[in-house]
Amino acid sequence: MEITASRKNLPKLFFSTLYISAFTFGGGFVIITFMKKKFVDELHWIDEEEMLDLTALAQSSPGAIAVNAAILVGWRVGGFPGMLTAVLGTIIPPMAILSLISFFYTAFATNLYVALVLKGMQAGVAAVILDVVCGLGGNVIKLHKPVYLVIMAAAFAATFFLKINVIYIIIAAAVMGIILEILNRKGGKRS
């Protein structure tokens, strides 16, 4: 088990998840990109391949992707207390913000300045995600295994152009992995 139950990282884990959750607008992949920047690139608590595995798990489990990712990162960094810490850090900002907004929501939703700031932030979010994608995609290319490039291209076409449900894409990629493993074993026996 690589789950490390060290308590000294808990405050840092709490404030990192709180900070990420408070600033990530948009869907689950946005928060995962920010978590990758923080926990992989900055703190080096998790390595890049592991982060991608955790993303696949978070995406294919029921519930909000952000919460699922927090649960996985939390277990990894601090065991059970780590999981609770990361989940709390992730849900406190939206709970606090929505509680405030629920009292004067029409004023907020129709405010021009709020809308303009949020629109500008969207451009920044797109940049952050695509910056991370450049790094991750580059690493897949560096593996020099055409089959992974084909999986990447096929998965992209399936989700971006064909709008196929991501669950099916993940299942298909997993099946592909099983087929590759079987082929590998057969090849191993023959040689």
Residues 6+ positions from 132 with CB-CB distance below 8 Å: 33, 36, 37
Residues 9-38 that bind other proteins (CB under 8 A): 19-30, 32-34, 37
Minimum distance from CB of 13 to other proteins (Å)?
15
Task: Map the footprint of other proteins across residues 93-152, applying CB under 8 A.
Answer: 93-95, 97-99, 101-102, 105-106, 108-109, 113-134, 136-137, 140, 148-149, 151-152
Closest approach, Cβ 183 to other proteins, in A, equals 10
> Would you give the DSSP letter of residue 46?
S
What contacts 24+ positions apart, CB below 8 Å, involve 84-87? 85/10, 85/13, 85/14, 85/17, 86/13, 86/14, 86/17
Measured CA to CA, the distance from residue 80 to residue 64 in angstroms comes to: 19
Dihedral of CA 90/92/97/102: which sign?
positive
Question: Which member of 13, 40, 71, 77 binds other proteins (CB under 8 A)?
Answer: 71
Residue 78 is a binding residue for other proteins (CB under 8 A): no
Helix (H) or strand (E) holding 71: helix 65-103
CA angle 172, 173, 178 (to 5 degrees): 95
Say how many residues touch other proteins, by CB under 8 A: 105
Shortest approach of other proteins to residue 134 CB, angstroms? Answer: 7
Angle at 156 between CA 151 and CA 161, to 5 degrees: 135
Residues 150-169 that bind other proteins (CB under 8 A): 151-156, 159-160, 165-167, 169
Q: How far is the CB of 39 from other proteins (least distance, A)?
A: 13
Beta carbon of residue 9, minimum distance to other proteins (angstroms, whole number): 17
Return the number of the residue (10 or 87) whose C-beta is nearest other proteins.
Answer: 87
**Which of residues 11 and 80 has its CB atom nearest to other proteins in the complex?**
80
